[in-house]
Amino acid sequence: MAVYDMDDALSTARSRHTATSTTPKQPTNPTTDSTSRYDRPIAAAQEDGLPIIDISSFLDPNSSTSDRQTTAQAINAACVNYGFFYLTGHGIPTAKLDEIIDLARRFFALPLDRKNQIKRFDAGGPEGGDSARGYQGLGENVTGGLQDMQEAIDLYRPWNGVEEEGDGGPGTRKTLQGPNLWPDEPAELRGVYEAYIKQVTEVGRALVRAMGAALNLGPAQPNAQRDAEDEDVFARHCDESFWVMRMINYPPLPPSAQSAHADAQQQDPNQFSCGAHTDYGCVTLLLADPTPGALQVQLKDGTWLPADPVPGAFVVNVGDMIERWTNGLWKSTMHRVIHRGDGGVHGIGGGGRVSVPFFFEPNFDALVKPLGKCVAESGTPRIHEGSTYGEHLLTKVFSNFYYSKRTDW
Ligand X SMILES: O=C(O)CCC(=O)C(=O)O
Residues at the interface with ligand X (CB under 6 A)? 246, 248, 274, 279, 286, 288, 295, 335, 337, 355, 357
Per the CB < 8 A criterion, the answer to whether 150 and 87 are in contact is no
**Residue 376 to residue 381: CA distance in whole angstroms:** 9
Residue 352 binding result from Fe ion, ligand X, none, given CB thresholds of 5 to 8 Å by partner type? none
User: Taking CB within 5 to 8 Å according to partner kind, which of ligand X, Fe ion, none is near residue 175?
Assistant: none
Our CA angle for 89, 94, 98, nearest 5°, is: 140
Residue number with the smallest Cβ distance to Fe ion: 279
To the nearest whole angstrom, how small is the minimum distance from the Cβ of residue 280 to Fe ion? 9
Residue 286 binding partner per list Fe ion, ligand X, none, with a CB distance cut-off of 5 to 8 Å that depends on partner kind: ligand X
First-to-final CA distance of the chain: 40
> By C-beta, is 299 or 371 nearer to Fe ion?
299
Q: Which of 368, 378, 391, 362 is nearest to 208 (CA)?
A: 362
* Residues in touch with Fe ion (CB under 5 A): 279
Min CB(200)–ligand X separation in Å: 15
Q: Are 133 and 174 in contact (CB under 8 A)?
A: no
Is the Cβ–Cβ distance between 278 and 333 less than 8 Å? yes
Binder of residue 246, out of Fe ion, ligand X, none (CB less than 5 to 8 A by kind)? ligand X
Q: Which is nearer to Fe ion, 34 or 399 (CB)?
A: 399
Q: Are 149 and 273 in contact (CB under 8 A)?
A: yes
User: Please, which residue, 252 or 357, has the CB nearer to ligand X?
Assistant: 357
Minimum CB separation from ligand X for residue 104, in Å? 11
Q: Which residues contact 273 (CB under 8 A, 6 or more apart)?
A: 148, 149, 150, 250, 253, 294, 336, 337, 338, 339, 353
Nearest distance from C-beta of residue 57 to ligand X, angstroms: 27
Closer to ligand X at the Cβ: 149 or 337? Answer: 337
Residue 78 binding partner per list Fe ion, ligand X, none, with a CB distance cut-off of 5 to 8 Å that depends on partner kind = none
Cβ distance to Fe ion smaller for residue 217 or 334: 334
**Cβ count within 10 A of residue 176:** 23
Q: What is the spatial distance between Cα 161 and Cα 3, in angstroms, rounded to a whole number? A: 5
Is 174 or 335 the residue whose CB approaches ligand X more closely? 335
User: Residue 213 or residue 287: which is nearer to ligand X going by CB?
Assistant: 287
Phi and psi torsions of 136, nearest 5°? -120, 135
Q: Which does 295 bind (CB under 5 to 8 A by kind): Fe ion, ligand X, none?
A: ligand X
Nearer to ligand X, 17 or 396 (CB): 396
Beta carbon of residue 346, minimum distance to ligand X (angstroms, whole number): 14
The residues near 97 (Cβ < 8 Å, ≥ 6 apart) are: 287, 312
Q: To the nearest whole angstrom, how small is the minimum distance from the Cβ of residue 360 to ligand X?
A: 13
Which entry of Fe ion, ligand X, none binds 203, CB below 5 to 8 A by partner kind? none
Q: What is the DSSP letter of 24?
A: P
CA dihedral 201, 363, 31, 338 (to 10 degrees): 60
Question: Which of ligand X, Fe ion, none sits in contact with 288, Cβ below 5 to 8 A by type?
Answer: ligand X
Of all residues in the shown chain, the one whose CB is closest to ligand X is: 355
| Closest-CA residue to 225 (of 374, 61, 367) | 367
Q: How far is the CB of 274 from Fe ion (least distance, A)?
A: 7
Minimal distance, residue 309 CB to ligand X, in Å = 9
- β-partners of residue 250 are 353
